[in-house]
Amino acid sequence: MLKRALSLYIFIIICFMAFLGRIVYIQRSEYSSVMESASKRTLIVGEKRGGIYDRNFSPLVDSENHLLAAVTPCVGSYEYLKGKLDDRVLRSRIEEGRPFICQIDEEINNEYIRTFSVSQRYSAEGLAVHLIGYCDSSGQTGITGIERAYNAYLSENRGKLSVTFDVDAVGRVLAGMDKTVYDNNYSSKAGVVLSIDGNVQKIAEDALENSKIKSGCAVVMHVHTGEILAMASVPEYDQNNVAASLKDENSPLVNKALTAYSVGSVFKPIVAAAALENGYDPNEEYECTGEIKVGDRKFACYNHKAHGKVNMSKALEDSCNTYFISLIMRTDSDLLLSLCRQIGLGEKDILAPSLAGSSGTLPTDEELKIKGNLANFAFGQGSLTATPLQITKAYHTLATGNYIKPQLIKGFTNYMGLMTKEPTDSAVKILSDETVIKIREMLLSVTEKGGADKAHSRLLSLAGKTGTAQSGIYIGGKEILRTWFAGFFPANNPHYIVVVLNENGSGGNTDCAPIFKEICEGIVS
């Protein structure tokens, strides 16, 4: 019994000593860690999140760099920085004896100073600001655009660049000790790749900037892939100072390309295509007297101008309202509505998670049973609204006969810059080849012979249609007009679709056709 008690006593003593030893070890380890932390001072030189690139892997964010210097405070660093910084501030920082970061204009690298090229997320000359969007004040949470749509991915791929100095107990740099640079994912190339072509985007933005359009947009789509090469909206806003744009009456924060508007006469070629698909003879003539009566309502051409005898091509050239009213009365409205749905009118264009265009509005079957509503529909008025992006894909169908979903996201890159491509949707045949050929020819004649002479080019065969739509909104007794130009080129073998909108204009030919022409010529120059 005594033997057992002695064994138990010894066991307890051993456990107690082991426990005591563990406490001492932990205390020493923690003290050592604290001492090591106290002997180091780390300065953050730069932070950034995942990148956003155009189709050519050119950065659309973090494209502007500035120089930051990590400085060891001493007489030597003062001599190098003297005259480059405010002398009073510089002396104060040097006398403090603590390492510091400052911005400089030229690169200096020696035993006292290490210079880094650090990127700024947004620059004053940044492209596609409405698509890119912006982050909150922390710079780490996307609020709009691609920044919001892929916030998780961009946040996961954030990086940090820092410099660590050896310091004494009061934080002063120890003489003779070198600084250590840490690149924690800062150099990563991981990010989102857009279908946007930076060169085409700049052409579109410059064309809008140089025009009289205060509020509007331009969209460029590649015919063969449905990829959006440019989406420019004006006015732009400062991504570094979003608050400054909140009270602007032209709504800089709104992406006009994804906003629905009344479309006007850019809709007429769609009516023409539906009639051709139903076997209508485009050479059949109609006598335009300047107005037409439908039920108890009268509808007129612009300024009540009588166009005389016109066939389909001539009616598009002159943008004759009464011709298309007469045409729609003889076209099955159900088939026209079906075509509209097939080409994507009335549906949202989802470009990325939480990034989509308005669905716009298509009149219902019941609405079009009222002849006045049907007449308005013939020339793109009434309840019909669409986004510039929707009109872009509609003209893609007119130019090719196919429907394809617009594509903005090309893929994602990893740390090394290797891209994983996103799957793309295949095109769906909508219109016959015969209809497409006729529409191409007629829209070419609009720019060469008709009312869109400001879109005519000596360099390229440009095809398209103007539009001037009533908005039902009045300011100072004057109605705001939505003006458009939508088209494609080359006319007989289209490669690009281009759509231009002016939110408050006077006429499609005056406002938008010259911008359309400038963008098209800029793309091939």
Q: pLDDT tens, 488-504? A: 999 999 999 999 999 99
CATH of the domain at 155: 3.90.1310
Residue with tokens 């990563």: 188
Under 8 Å CB-to-CB from 176, ≥6 apart: which residues? none
Q: Do both 81 and 216 map to the same domain? A: no
Q: Do both 211 and 157 map to the same domain? A: no
Q: Do both 105 and 227 map to the same domain? A: no
Last residue of a domain, one of 194, 217, 252: 194
Phi/psi at 173 (nearest 5 deg)? Answer: -65, 135
Q: Do both 238 and 285 map to the same domain? A: yes
Spatial contact of 219 and 257, defined as CB atoms under 8 Å apart: yes
Q: What angle separates helix 333-342 from helix 371-378, to the nearest 10 degrees?
A: 50
Count of the separate structural domains present in the chain? 2
Q: Do both 249 and 390 map to the same domain? A: yes
Q: Where are the beta strands (DSSP E) in 139-282?
A: 159-166, 180-184, 191-194, 216-222, 228-234
Residue type, 209: E
- Average pLDDT for residues 193-221, to the nearest whole number? 97
Q: Do both 337 and 374 map to the same domain? A: yes
Res 2 pLDDT > 70: no
Q: Do both 159 and 203 map to the same domain? A: no
Last residue of a domain, one of 153, 170, 194: 194
Q: Do both 204 and 153 map to the same domain? A: no
Distance CA(404)–CA(422), nearest Å, equals 15
Segments forming the whole domain that contains residue 454? 198-414+422-524
- Average pLDDT for residues 42-51, to the nearest whole number? 94
**What pLDDT does residue 15 have?**
52
Does residue 464 lie within any of the structural domains? yes
Q: Do both 136 and 204 map to the same domain? A: no
Angle among Cα 140, 143, 149 to the nearest 5 degrees reads: 90
Q: Do both 341 and 367 map to the same domain? A: yes
Q: Do both 509 and 431 map to the same domain? A: yes
Q: Do both 309 and 371 map to the same domain? A: yes
Query: What separation in angstroms does the CA of 494 have from each of 232, 387, 513, 520?
Result: 21, 22, 18, 12
Res 452 pLDDT > 90: yes
Q: pLDDT tens, 314-359? A: 999 999 999 999 999 998 889 999 999 999 999 999 999 999 999 9
Give the 3-state secondary structure of 404-469. CCCECEEEEECCCCCEEECCCCCCEECCCHHHHHHHHHHHHHHHHCCCCHHHCCCCCCCEEEEEEE
Last residue of a domain, one of 179, 194, 209: 194
Stretch among 11-20, 59-68, 295-304, 429-438 having the lowest mean pLDDT:
11-20
Does residue 29 lie within any of the structural domains? no
**What pLDDT does residue 252 have?**
96
Does residue 11 lie within any of the structural domains? no
**What pLDDT does residue 26 have?**
40
Count the helices and strands in the chain (H runs, E runs): 17, 23
CATH of the domain at 204: 3.40.710.10
Does residue 394 lie within any of the structural domains? yes
**What pLDDT does residue 354 have?**
94
177: confidence class by pLDDT, cuts 50, 70, 90: low
